[in-house]
Amino acid sequence: MSHSKIETSNNFKTPIFAILVLGIIFAAGLFIVGFDQGHIFSLVYGEQAFTDLYIHELTHDMRHAAGFPCH
Amino acid sequence: MISGALAGLIHGTVNFAIVEPYLDQAIGIENQNLFASGEEEDTQEFWVEYEGYRMWQKSGQILAGVILGTSIGALFGIVFALSRNSLPGNHDVKKSLVLAGVMWFTLYLIPFLKYPANPPTVGDTETVVLRAILYLSFIAISGFGALAFYKLSKKFKNNKKLVSLIGYGVFITAVFFAMPENPDEINAPMTLVNEFRLMSVLGVSSFWISIGFLLGLFWNRFESHKESIPYT
């Protein structure tokens, strides 16, 4: 009796450049949703951004729901 | 990243259904505190503005889910690409689900047990940076600890691999007790807090299950480097 089976192998290397880009996307997304306290918009709006907390308020519900520290 | 974005969309939608009622309840307590302290007045204008603001925040939950999902999807993709050959299972979906389970446990559940999610009303604005540093540090320690013990396990053979698993358990238990406690007092009803935390775990778990399934499916479908080796 013969058996037929498909095996898969992964013999390619993950490009360093791809890892770098994905790493930046990971860090940026995590910061936006989990930790920004006005830092990103302060680049444009200055100190006012730390009072408005626009991104913080927009991601507020997900911050709480995903377990990130919030006020 | 697409699998992460889709899983994030699922996460946001699940949260919208099961977490939002608890957020509304907690914010309701905050509003009552504002009225009691005289910072706000219980007027129709307040409630009209509040409802509009909450709708904006609730829609932000879905958007944030997609952003967070894309972000974690990027990390998950890196780890899966680098560890795929070592993961157990004969199918990419199985491998991906195993990895999702490991990352859910080390990057979410263990940090959650130390620093559990809290609803609004719990958490002092003055301590938010400290709490963020503690939470992120614990996630990083747990994640890199798991990676280090996994690397160690590669040096052992067969049943001795259990040693590295126990090693990680001992290591993370020591870190768990060494890390400082959340400095904030819980000043909301514990029933609300506990039910919120349960819903939070269910929501985040839905994300990890989704991303594990979707990435494995996409990888299996689109991978161009696959070699088929039929044998009899």
Between A and B, how many residue pairs show a Cβ–Cβ distance under 8 A?
158
What are the tens digits of pLDDT across the range B47-85? 999 999 999 999 999 999 999 999 999 999 999 999 888
Domain span at B112 = 2-122+186-222
- Please indicate, yes or no, if residue B66 is contained in any of the structural domains: yes
What are the tens digits of pLDDT across the range B208-218? 999 999 999 99
Candidates B202, B222, B204; CA nearest to B214 is: B222
- Please indicate, yes or no, if residue B203 is contained in any of the structural domains: yes
pLDDT confidence of residue B60: 92
- Please indicate, yes or no, if residue B28 is contained in any of the structural domains: yes
- H helix intervals, chain B: 2-18, 20-37, 44-83, 92-103, 110-114, 128-153, 161-178, 190-222
Candidates B155, B156, B154, B136; CA nearest to B144 is: B136
DSSP calls for A3-66 = --B----B--PPPHHHHHHHHHHHHHHHIIIII-SSHHHHHHHTTHHHHH-HHHHHTHHHHHHH
Residue B75 touches chain A, beta carbons under 8 Å? yes
Categorize the per-residue pLDDT at A12 as very low, low, confident or very high, splitting at 50, 70 and 90. low
- More confident of the two residues B144 and B226: B144
What are the tens digits of pLDDT across the range B31-42? 998 899 888 888
pLDDT confidence of residue B105: 95
Of A4, A28, A69, Cβ closest to residue B132: A69
What are the tens digits of pLDDT across the range B133-183? 999 999 999 999 999 998 888 877 766 678 888 999 999 999 999 999 988
Residue B157 touches chain A, beta carbons under 8 Å? no
Given a cut of 50, is residue A3 above it in pLDDT? no
Residues in chain B, overall count? 232
What are the tens digits of pLDDT across the range B91-135? 999 999 999 999 999 999 999 999 999 999 887 888 888 999 999
pLDDT confidence of residue B125: 81
User: Mean pLDDT for chain B?
Assistant: 90
- Please indicate, yes or no, if residue B145 is contained in any of the structural domains: no
- What is the C-alpha separation between A56 and A53, in angstroms, rounded? 5
By C-alpha distance, the chain A residue nearest B73 is A26
Task: Determine contact, residues A38/B125, Cβ cutoff 8 Å.
Answer: no
DSSP calls for B131-159 = HHHHHHHHHHHHHHHHHHHHHHHTTS-GG
- Please indicate, yes or no, if residue B53 is contained in any of the structural domains: yes
pLDDT confidence of residue B159: 64
pLDDT confidence of residue B62: 94
- Please indicate, yes or no, if residue B11 is contained in any of the structural domains: yes
Q: How many domains does chain B have?
A: 1
- Please indicate, yes or no, if residue B81 is contained in any of the structural domains: yes
